[in-house]
Chain A
């Protein structure tokens, strides 16, 4: 299941604006990679290029290679839809589909990919909700609208929805920034469980969170507003937080800047 991602000389643009410059990094399978850095440094942008969501914005484009187990997902013949089935994503704001029940939300991906088998859908629904640590809380209200859950539950519902399509990689774009500490803890526990099976990349503004959940951490920075962001360094989380190579990293994690 879990796959490895290599970024080689990746440059990302929004129209004429050069957003991120020359990123080289490797995402290790069955581990959590965290991206940290100040606002506007391009960490979310890099995350969104990993499953080709970036190109949904008009004028956005990517140069360089992004290899998923050695295959370039930006190759001419590659289908963005197929890439996204392999690389799931959880967003900053919980966004369950408002017209759908809890159950339909979880299996939305499968259903809309054409799976009709009711028994299989129910199985996947339960397994995904269990996987997202939400089953106990919602098992009696599977037919209620997904929008009726609390914010933390909605976010776990979105994680259940993302893992229901059985991706190889899970991208998380600040998944806890809209949640209270208890829901945040629930999600962090979940991330620790999920990394046994998935490759996880998480963008976070919360350095303690990066330190708690991730195995390796990449620090992004930008020289000035309007300049492209770049990857300063990426290393084991422990090393980044105790003994980073770059002065900028140390300044950032010790709170002297950013």
Chain B
């Protein structure tokens, strides 16, 4: 008969099963960790590469005195002077006009699809939105060219670009708003109905405010998305080296169009302006994206 000492009592009879990880599990764990990290690196490398290139080549232009406040009017191709303010204006005003048209239509269409749409018309609308979402930007641009410029005889102008951008923006706004409205729980609608609040008022005062944050974020992202579109500006408006405030007539520059036109500039100044405009465009789009995330944070429903 053995005697039990204090030390024996301290030691567990067998090692607890939770303490050992089998060799095969450790190997699987390591392999998976390596694979996932590798995939992450592969995804990040091009992104960092693009950013570093654009920033390093574009930054000098951004710090020049004229960049944000003058146009290229009267500047020779080989000169480094001048700025892109005419193109920034063009990009912003074209996006703004597109937004003013696309957002109300998009939100109303989404409200129809979520709150009212039943039957064939809703299915057709939903199907058409899917088709529209798949339309390449060059096709949207050519459609506007055919419908408004060839048939109706409208002049090429920034407004035509905005119309093409509307076609690209609409499905994004509709789909996003639809998602946000569907996230609003039905029990909120029901409790509003149960208070004797009519349906339209329920949508306007209960459903839309609840979905506001996500809807606005979606709109901001859609704006950021269309500002880089190149096909519509190539097809629907001429390039101008000078500022043109009038979106309804005349040539108007925009950042993508400026970059495209400077491609044919053989001088080093052309490269300088292309990279500068690229960085400017990225910065503007980033401002919208950061703005979207800030808006969604501050307009989020308090808990």
Contact = CB atoms under 8 A, between A and B. Distances in A.
Interface of A: 51, 53, 56, 58, 81-82, 84-86, 88-89, 91, 93, 95, 97-99, 108-109, 112-113, 145, 147-148, 158, 161-162, 165
Interface size class of B (residues with CB under 8 A): 20 to 34
Contacts of B188: 95, 97-98
Nearest to A145: B302
A92 to B, nearest CB: 9
Given A81-B198, A91-B187, A147-B303, 11 more contacts: A56-B193, A84-B193, A88-B195, A95-B185, A97-B206, A99-B212, A108-B195, A109-B197, A112-B195, A147-B302, A161-B191
Contact of A53 (B193, B209, B210): B193
B20 interface: no
Contacts, number: 78
Given A93-B187, A95-B188, A85 B196 contact: yes
A82 B301 contact: no
B195 A98 contact: no
Interface in B43-61: none
A113 B196 contact: yes
B232 to A, nearest CB: 37
B23 interface: no
Contact of A109 (B190, B195, B301): B195
Interface of B: 118, 185, 187-198, 201-202, 205-206, 209-210, 212, 301-303
A88 B194 contact: yes
Nearest to A112: B197
A91 B190 contact: yes
Contacts of A97: 188, 191-192, 206, 210
A49 to B, nearest CB: 13
Given A58-B118, A95-B185, A98-B301, A158 B195 contact: no
A224 B266 CA distance: 84
B302 A148 contact: yes
Contacts of B197: 81, 108-109, 112-113
Given A56-B190, A93-B187, A112-B201, A161 B301 contact: no
Contacts of A99: 206, 209-210, 212, 301
Which of B189, B193, B202 has the most chain A CB atoms inside 10 A of its CB? B193
18 contacts: A53-B194, A56-B190, A86-B196, A88-B195, A91-B190, A91-B194, A93-B187, A95-B187, A99-B209, A109-B195, A112-B197, A112-B201, A112-B202, A112-B205, A113-B197, A147-B302, A162-B194, A165-B196
Which secondary structure characterizes the binding site on chain B?
Answer: helix
Contacts of A165: 195-196
A56 B195 CA distance: 14
Nearest to A164: B195
Contact of A89 (B189, B194, B202, B205): B194
Contacts of B185: 95
A112 B209 CA distance: 14
Given A58-B118, A112-B205, A148-B303, A82 B190 contact: no
B301 to A, nearest CB: 5
B303 A84 contact: no
A16 B196 CA distance: 28
A91 B195 CA distance: 12
B191 A145 contact: no
B196 A84 contact: yes
A162 B196 CA distance: 10
A145 to B, nearest CB: 5
Contacts of B212: 99
A246 B190 CA distance: 35
A102 to B, nearest CB: 12
A113 B201 CA distance: 9
B112 to A, nearest CB: 15
A226 to B, nearest CB: 25
